[in-house]
Structure 1
């Protein structure tokens, strides 16, 4: 019994698990990896919650957001409706299209300008919002890396490489 007890003491003794410690050299500790993954998922959920909280505004803001979302679906559904009308009653459809053919060219140019400006402005606003959100995410990158690496400490702002940003270097010098 003493030999088996000594052998087991070598492998599992003194509060250590030599087999588990050796296996962790070749394979990631599943429990630690799950804890890191849980933290990363929690951070992602917090980010999503912040995005949806930002979307909540006054009743007028929500109404205007709804109105701003109408033109694209209305144009898509209207186009599909035109195809349906052409198939159901071709004579009725031809009469309506003959009326559209009588619209003067300057009015078509005005319509094109309005639609272009609407979608162009919306595209620009969405692009700027996306760039702003990416800047926020990139500013959190050191904390996210630290979280994924499993270390509890977050790097200091000085640890982030800023390249040759002289304004930032001067600001850091004034901060001590």
Structure 2
């Protein structure tokens, strides 16, 4: 009996396991593949949203660059409050602003426009760079995903008949009977 089983399934436990796995997936191996796929996708998501490390000086400059917009907004609201609290004080300050020559207002407008325009352009280019890097990583990750999840194909070597037989699905009489009964 042992010789017949060895002839059918091979001479070791690994041969029997390989034979059975042709018909039924190994649950442990399937779970490992699923866990690896999930870990790879989480790693990809983490890389897409990870900003490169920056030094203290860069972080300080970013913090300083974030101050003008809220400062302008809060300063304008402060002017409205000052006008309501002490109109005489506010009127004296506005008379001083009215005495500023027009070319100085043009210069101030140009400086503010260039500041915000340059910052907008810089942030826009940084965003486009990050998006192009993410798309490059995405194409690599898709290829790795395809390679990882590609189903195992039978190695038929140079045998054309075996290759032809492997590509044609076999008839399944039990499945045909089941379909006929439905």
Q: TM-score range by the shorter chain?
A: 0.5 to 0.7
Task: Identify the match of residue 74 of structure 1 among 68, 71, 83.
Answer: 71
Distance 1:153 1:72 in 2: 50
2:48/2:134 contact within 8 Å kept: no
Q: Do the aligned partners of 1:146 and 1:153 also contact (CA within 8 Å) in 2? A: no
Rounded to whole Å, the distance in 2 between the matches of 1:63 and 1:88 is 36
Verify: 1:128 aligned to 2:128, yes or no: no
Find the aligned partners of 1:131 and 1:65 in 2 and give their Cα distance. 19
Instruction: Give the 5 Å matches for 1:12-161.
Output: 36-49=37-50, 51-53=51-53, 56-57=54-55, 59-146=56-143, 151-152=147-148
1:84–1:37 distance in 2 versus 1, CA, 3 Å:
farther
Would the aligned equivalents of 1:86 and 1:93 in 2 still touch at CA under 8 Å? yes
Whole-angstrom distance in 1 between the partners of 2:76 and 2:33: 55
Cα pair distance change 1:83/1:35, threshold 3 Å: farther
CA contact (8 A) 2:82 2:90 kept: yes
Gaps of 5+ in 1: 1-13, 18-30, 155-176
Alignment root-mean-square deviation, CA: 3.1
Tell me the TM-score normalized by structure 2.
Answer: 0.56
Distance 1:63 1:137 in 2: 27
Distance 1:103 1:141 in 2: 55
Structure-2 change in CA distance of 1:52 and 1:80 (3 Å): farther
3-state SS in 1 of match to 2:100: coil
Q: If the length of structure 1 is used for normalisation, what is the TM-score?
A: 0.57
Deviation for aligned residue 1:44: 1.5
> For residues 35 and 84 of structure 2, what CA distance do their matches in structure 1 show?
58
Q: Which runs of 5+ in 2 are unaligned?
A: 1-19, 25-31, 151-182
Rounded Cα–Cα distance in structure 2 between residues aligned with 1:33 and 1:82: 61
**Higher relative contact order at CA 8 Å, sep ≥6: structure 1 or structure 2?**
1
Structure 1 residues 95 and 45, CA gap change in structure 2 (3 angstroms): same
